[in-house]
Structure 1
Amino acid sequence: MKNNKNTLKRILNLLSPYKLKTVISILLAVIIVLTTLYLPILTGRAVDTIVSKGNVDFIKLSSIVIMMVIMMAVTAASQWCMTAINNGVAYHMVRDIRNQAFRKLMKLPISYVDSNSHGEIINKVINDVDQFSEGLLMGFAQFFTGALTIVLTVIILFTINVYVTLVVLFVTPLAVLVAGFIAKNTYKYFKSQSERRAKMTGIVDEMVAGLSTVKNFTMEDRVESKFKEADEALREAGQNAIFISATAFPATRFVNALVYAGVAVAGALLSITGRMSVGQLASVLSYATQYTKPFNEISGVVTELQNSFACAARVFALIDEEEILPDKDPNNYLKDVDGNVEVTHVYFSYDKSKKLIEDLNLDVKAGQRIAIVGPTGSGKSTIINLLMRFYDVDSGSIKIEGKDINDIKRKSIRENFGMVLQETWLKNASIRDNIAFGKPDASLEDIKRAAKEAYADSFIKRLPDGYDTIVSEGGENLSAGQRQLLCIARIMLEIPPMLILDEATSSIDTMTEARISKAFDKMMIGRTSFVVAHRLSTIKNADMILVLKDGHIIEQGNHKELMDMKGFYYELNNAV
């Protein structure tokens, strides 16, 4: 319940920029309720104009009918305007919350993305926000108009006949209990449904991305079994949610019947005794139906609102995630970078209960080419993450040009590094836009120059639209090698003073790799370069080779020196 209150408060904060529209919508809702409730009074008066056969006050009846038509027209127009306003407000709120969530993603540390399912994150930003909007659209108007209808109906019934009103009020607590029971039990079921839907989205996202691998290892049956388990869990949660919400209809219908029957019997007895006219009886029977109808709607609305609140709470949880620590001094930029890097007594681990990097020390001079080798899990890519400040060190320091990177603006650090990773990333845009991702204002001539230096120009020209060819999501319409060449061209476009190459030629054929290696050699002249390599043949010309094992530099030197040591590097080299 407390969570619901907090979520409601957040939703109201989102609503604050649209106060005027909200007030207009509320006024229209009041008009709709008043005109709707006035119609039964007019109906009763119309009935009372028909005294007996041949004794009808047609003049009075005509004026009443005209008034009824006017009320219906006002109701319809107000309903249309209110719906349009509510839709606009709801969709604007959805836009705002989705923008907030996406902005938050840009400010979250890499560790959040690494530790959470990508499918679940996508589900929060897309599906949960959609579910939230649907519940909000339905509930915003109906809940308010339903509550107002109930209150005003009781007041009007009191003005018509006190005894009939007491009958209605006698049954009201039962209607309230039914609505309360449904509201109390739906939230937890819809929350569970939302969580399990997110898990299933994550599985689908994961499997689509790795479908070729799944087929290669003939793991279709196991993956399908995993999906069925998630789907069954979602079915169970959804069935529970639907079951509890489905009780609303028969329960409220039962209450409706009780109210209508009570009013009909009481009204008939009062009419026989002359305490109520036939027209008034027609009015109270109409009000009996209108009085219970909001309980039906509110029960359904509560169900939708509970689902909406559950989804909104998950989105707000993302928005409330702890952001990456702000820069200590946003004006502290790296200037005149030559490429001197000093790593002193650095300790770091992703999981604080498991040690990884321990007492790492490194002194890199400007222009040196540093190769990092070692078995899987030794900490090679972790060093890259620390240099780029994707993660901050637990203790110790990393300095560039004598400045501790913890004191430097992150943007400034990353602008001075060019990075090509083994895992390629391309956006759904043209080849031209993908190469110019880091320099959007680059001319086509510069883009083509970079592509030629990366040996990508020849295959780009063979594409249907050349540099304007659209890359599909994830670059699926290109080969792995072509994707990697585009990522290399991206760096070639504007080469910064320091480079990071994490097995940058792993998906390229041998002939192209030889050409790219020459381009890299030219590119790395005068620039500090960190080369993470699995194939030792690519790093023999490095000025310094760091051999890592279990987070420690166990050997250090050039290729000849390390081979002469006949240690771990010697064993790695001979094992190839």
Structure 2
Amino acid sequence: MSGTQTTPKSAPRPAGPPAGTPGRGGPGGRGGGPFGGIGMPTEKSMTFGPSAKRLIRRLSPHRVAVIAVIALGVISVVFTVLGPWLLGQATNLIFAGAIGQTLPADMTKQQLIDQLRASGQTQQADLLSGIALTPGQGIDFDALAMVLGIVLVLYVAASVFAWLQGRVLNTIVQSTVYRLREEVEAKINRLPLAYFDKMQRGELLSRVTNDMDNVAQSLQQTLSQMLTSVLTVVGVLVMMFVTSPLLAVISLVTIPLTIGITAVIAKRSQKLFVAQWAHTGALNAQVEENFTGHALVKVFGRQRETEQTFTEKNEQLYKASFGAQFVSGIIMPAMMFVGNLIYVVIAVVGGLQVASGALSIGAVQAFIQYSRQFTQPLTQLGSMVNLLQSGVASAERVFELLDAEEQTPDASPAETPADSRGRLVFENVSFRYTEDKPLITDLSLVAEPGQTVAIVGPTGAGKTTLVNLIMRFYELDAGRITLDGVDIAQMTRRDLRSRTGMVLQDTWLFGGTIRDNIAYGRPDATEEEILDAARATYVDRFVHSLPDGYDTVLDDEASNVSAGEKQLLTIARAFLAKPSVLILDEATSSVDTRTEQLVQKAMSALRADRTSFVIAHRLSTIRDADLILVMESGSIVEQGTHAELLAAEGAYYALYNSQFASALVDE
């Protein structure tokens, strides 16, 4: 988040839509089926075909490299499919030499054939007619060595080109996924706060990490194999027709069988893969939630219920994963069974053709090799469907995130206040989280520079919503808010938030040193400025008790400092930023009474010549506020100073009396 605000990982919204609002349901708070996410376009769930095409289209920036991959694949496959044909010629040389040296050298081949036919040995004559031999001559080892040498060169070259193809393709895939990750990161920064309010953090993390990794892995493993398999099928099919059209037609029966079996199985397994990754996201959300709140789970003794919930979600994931892998895993055995059936038929028919002289034994040998090369890539394609379906299911979830409705773009050209005094004006502001439940209606107020405006009221009155509107975490339904005379809707969010500091009840510190956490709002701050902010907010008081002082490294949960010390660090961060508008949402709730008094003094200096909004439940902290707003149901029901509101004996008086009844009696 840009600017100087000090925000938690998910900003609180006590006056937000209740849990029963439409759209909250299912894993991650998504309603309307497994892909009916809040904040996402209202469209039908994507199917395998469109999602796969969209994923492949992301390779388009690498058109030249893709063409190179195809060319390298074609060359590699051509060299590979020529191998069996040449080996068949080598077999013919060996067979012809072995038979030729047993025949009398004083007769020609035709004379021997005529003699066999005359003696009634028609089958032997037909077999001999299909062999290119010279009676009395043995194996031509020079010709055999040449053929085998050519085969060796072809196979080596095919391997080199296949390696080059894999290297180029790996570059394409990794670059594509790299850009996809960048788009997801940029998209997350453009999403409105409402999206994160209604999406479980673990579910979102699962899409950004697990699903993204699965897309990369699937592309890497399937594209190369599928491209090579398709090219091999085409190349082998051509050579099969060249070798024997009859056997080639028999082999073609494999294609419709393969397509039919794969289509039937894939249709069932795709739904299971979608469910698998949806359950993965739900389980991650459960684990992340329990890990974050593990202390509360133990305090309230909810380990058994937590384990039960985990077991249920884990069982759902197990069933979906098992079903997806089992169903899709049937493809490869089915393809192998079909391939073996075709192999038997080819062997029988080929043997009969050799016996009749229609084919040479080398041609049959080559064709049997081609039949294996033909069914193997079809089998591989079937097995690749497994990975591809899993990858496309993950891609759908990533695309769903990329298609989510974004926050409204910044105005262009944007306006900037001429000075930075912090005068905030609400003009007939209205806002609601859901269409049927108005929250803030026709609210107007003026906060002058240097004023401290306190906002009090019961939970759900709209206090935090009010400051969220100032930060443009949500957009107004009506009216406008101006900062130093400029409508904040006409300012860039970055400019607006750079003028605003925010300290929330829920502290947020990142893994790094104490010095880095204080300087988060102003990375260019000098060492002296950081120390001044620490001293002013009494951070300096406890830092020196730590082993490494300001160089103490906080872990992700900042568990090596207390809750009150965390709060002081966030206050120091806001102090260092010196914004023109300061928002304090129960900022002193985690500190002790004595520290609270010290922080209040520090805040008095910080609030000088700046507008401050203070959300408070402890009314003792806002007695000195210049203006106190009492909110109920999104409306300001009272406003004035502490003394004026007590004298009026209205809503504020009732709130104050509930907290300080004994104090009022003393007065």
Please give the range of the TM-score, normalised by the shorter of the 2 chains.
Answer: over 0.9
| Residues 544 and 558 in structure 1, CA contact (< 8 A), matched pair in contact too | yes
For structure 1, which runs of at least 5 residues remain unmatched after alignment? none
Name the structure 1 match of 2:51.
7
Between the aligned partners of 2:356 and 2:629, the Cα distance in structure 1 is: 104
Q: Write the distance in 2 (CA, Å) between the matches of 1:330 and 1:300.
A: 54
Q: How high is the TM-score relative to the length of structure 2?
A: 0.83
Distance 1:459 1:20, change over 3 A: farther
Q: Which residue of 1 aligns with 2:454?
A: 371
Aligned to 1:88, what secondary structure does the other structure show?
Answer: helix
Matches within 5 A, 1:294-373: 294-373=377-456
Of 219, 223, 230, the match for 1:136: 219
Q: Choose the corresponding residue for 2:318, options 215, 235, 250.
A: 235
Q: How far, CA to CA, are the matches of 1:407 and 1:358 in structure 2?
A: 22
Structure 1 match to 2:506: 423
**Deviation string for 1:65-96 (max 9, x for gaps)?**
22222222222222222222222221111111
Aligned length: 576
Alignment match, 2:79: 35
Check conservation: 1:182, 1:303, Cα contact below 8 A.
no
State the AA in 2 paired with 1:79: A
Aligned equivalent of 2:494: 411
Quote the Cα distance in structure 2 between the aligned partners of 1:430 and 1:160: 73
Q: CA deviation at 1:500?
A: 0.7
- The amino acid that maps onto 2:59 is L
Residue of structure 2 equivalent to 1:21:
65
Deviations 1:93-134 (A, max 9, x none): 111101001101111111111111111111111111111111
Aligned to 2:143: 60
SS state at 1:396 partner: strand
Q: Secondary structure at the match of 2:169?
A: helix
Distance in 2, matches of 1:99 and 1:131, equals: 16
More helix by percentage:
1
Deviations 1:315-356 (A, max 9, x none): 112112222111224430122132222223222121222222
TM-fit CA distance, 1:167: 1.3
Contact map agreement 1:339 1:498 (CA 8 A) in 2: yes
Residues of 1 paired with 2:52 and 2:259: CA distance? 21
The answer to whether structure 1 residue 103 and structure 2 residue 147 are counterparts is: no
2:293 to 173, 194, 210: 210
Query: Structure 1 pair 464/295, CA: closer, same or farther in 2 (3 Å)?
Result: farther
Q: Retained in 2: the 8 A contact 1:456–1:482? A: yes
How big is the alpha-carbon RMSD for the aligned residues of Structure 1 and Structure 2?
1.8
Return the structure number with greater relative CO, CA threshold 8 A, min gap 6: 2
The yes-or-no answer on 1:176 pairing with 2:220 is no
The CA deviation string for residues 244-298 of structure 1, in whole angstroms up to 9 with x for no partner, is 2111122111111111011101111111111111211111111111110111111
* Structure 1 CA distance for aligned equivalents of residues 527 and 70 of structure 2: 55
The code of the aligned residue for 1:323 comes to E
Offset at 1:457? Answer: 1.9
| Contact residue 424 and residue 446 of structure 2 kept, 8 A | yes
Distance 1:463 1:13, change over 3 A: farther
Deviation at 1:406, TM superposition (A): 2.1
Query: Contact (CA 8 Å) 2:325, 2:386: kept in 1 or not?
Result: no
> Partner of 2:637: helix, strand, or coil?
strand
Q: What amino acid sits opposite 2:65 in the alignment?
A: K
Give, as a single letter, the amino acid of the residue that structure 1 aligns with 2:151.
M
AA in 1 matched with 2:650 = G
In structure 1, what is the equivalent of residue 17 of structure 2?
none
**Contact 1:193 / 1:237 at 8 angstroms: preserved in 2?**
yes
Q: 2:548 aligned with 1:465, yes or no?
A: yes
Match in the other structure for 2:245: 162
Tell me if structure 2 keeps the 8 A contact 1:109–1:323. yes
* DSSP 3-state at the match of 1:357: strand
Q: Give per-residue Cα distances to partners, 1:112-157, cap 9 Å, x unaligned.
A: 1111111111111111111111111122111121112112212111
Q: Distance in 1 between matches of 2:552 and 2:89?
A: 73
Supply the distance in 2 between the matched residues of 1:297 and 1:9 (Cα, whole angstroms).
21
Give the aligned residue type for 1:379: G
Contact map agreement 1:14 1:96 (CA 8 A) in 2: no
Task: For 1:82 and 1:478, locate their aligned partners in 2 and report how far apart those are by CA, in whole Å.
Answer: 54
Question: Residue 436 of structure 1 aligns to a residue in which SS?
Answer: helix
Of 349, 358, 364, 1:281 maps to: 364
2:566 paired residue among 466, 483, 491: 483
Instruction: Measure the CA separation in 1 of the matches of 2:545 and 2:153.
Output: 70
Task: Tell me the alpha carbon deviations over residues 380-400 of structure 1, each in whole angstroms, 9 at most, x when there is no partner.
Answer: 101110111111121122222
Match of 2:392, as an amino acid? F
**SS of residue matched to 2:623:** coil
SS, match of residue 496 in structure 1: coil
Indicate whether 1:499 and 2:582 are aligned.
yes
- Regions of 4+ moved over 6 Å: none
Q: For residue 304 of structure 1, give the secondary structure of its aligned residue in structure 2.
A: helix
* 1:118 is the counterpart of 2:201: yes
Q: TM-score, normalization: structure 1?
A: 0.96
Bigger shift: 456-465 or 371-380? 456-465
Distance in 2 of aligned mates of 1:460 and 1:97: 42
**Distance (Å, rounded) in 2 between the aligned partners of 1:175 and 1:336:** 73
The worse-fitting range, judged by mean Cα deviation, of 72-81 and 295-304 is 72-81
Q: 1:288, 1:252 → 2: CA distance? A: 13
**Structure 1 pair 86–202 and aligned structure 2 pair: CA distance change class (3 A):** same
SS class of match (2:86)? helix
Deviation at 1:6, TM superposition (A): 3.5
**Separation in 2, partners of 1:304, 1:29:** 21
Change (3 A) 1:401 1:358: same
Aligned residue among 432, 436, 453 for 2:536: 453
The percent identity for this pair of structures is 39
Determine the structure 1 residue equivalent to 2:485.
Answer: 402
Alpha carbons 2:202, 2:284 under 8 Å: kept: yes
Paired amino acid for 2:538:
Y
Kept in 2, the 8 Å contact 1:186–1:244? The answer is yes
Q: Secondary structure at the match of 1:499?
A: strand
Judge which range, 282-291 or 445-454, deviates more.
445-454
SS in 2 for 1:389: coil
* Higher CA-based Rg: 2
Distance 1:160 1:324 in 2: 64
Shift of 1:7: 2.8
In 2: Cα distance, 1:145 partner to 1:426 partner: 50
Give the partner amino acid of 1:559.
Answer: H
What letter is aligned with 1:393?
Answer: L
The reply to whether residue 567 of structure 1 matches residue 650 of structure 2 is yes
What code does the residue aligned with 1:139 have? T
Secondary structure, in 3 states, of the residue corresponding to 1:56?
A: coil
Taking the aligned partners of 2:46 and 2:458, their CA distance within structure 1 comes to 50
Tell me how far apart the structure 2 counterparts of residues 291 and 466 of structure 1 sit (CA, whole Å). 70
Residue matched to 1:187: 270
The question of whether the paired residues in 2 share the 8 Å contact of 1:157 and 1:165 is answered with yes
Partners of 1:468 and 1:19 lie apart in 2 by: 50
Whether contact under 8 Å (1:182, 1:299) holds in the other structure is no
Contact 2:46 2:396 in 1 (8 A): no
**Aligned with 1:355: secondary structure?**
strand
Q: Identify the range of structure 1 (52-61 vs 493-502) with the bigger mean alpha-carbon deviation.
A: 52-61
1:255 aligned counterpart, secondary structure: helix
Question: Using the alignment, how far apart are the partners of 1:404 and 1:473 within structure 2?
Answer: 37
Structure 1 window deviating more from structure 2 (239-248 vs 393-402): it is: 393-402
Partners of 1:37 and 1:30 in 2: how far apart? 10
Contact 2:507 2:567 in 1 (8 A): yes
Cα separation, 2, equivalents of 1:168 and 1:507:
77
Report the alpha carbon displacement of residue 58 of structure 1 after superposing the two structures with TM: 1.7
Q: Is the 8 A contact 2:254 2:339 kept in 1?
A: no
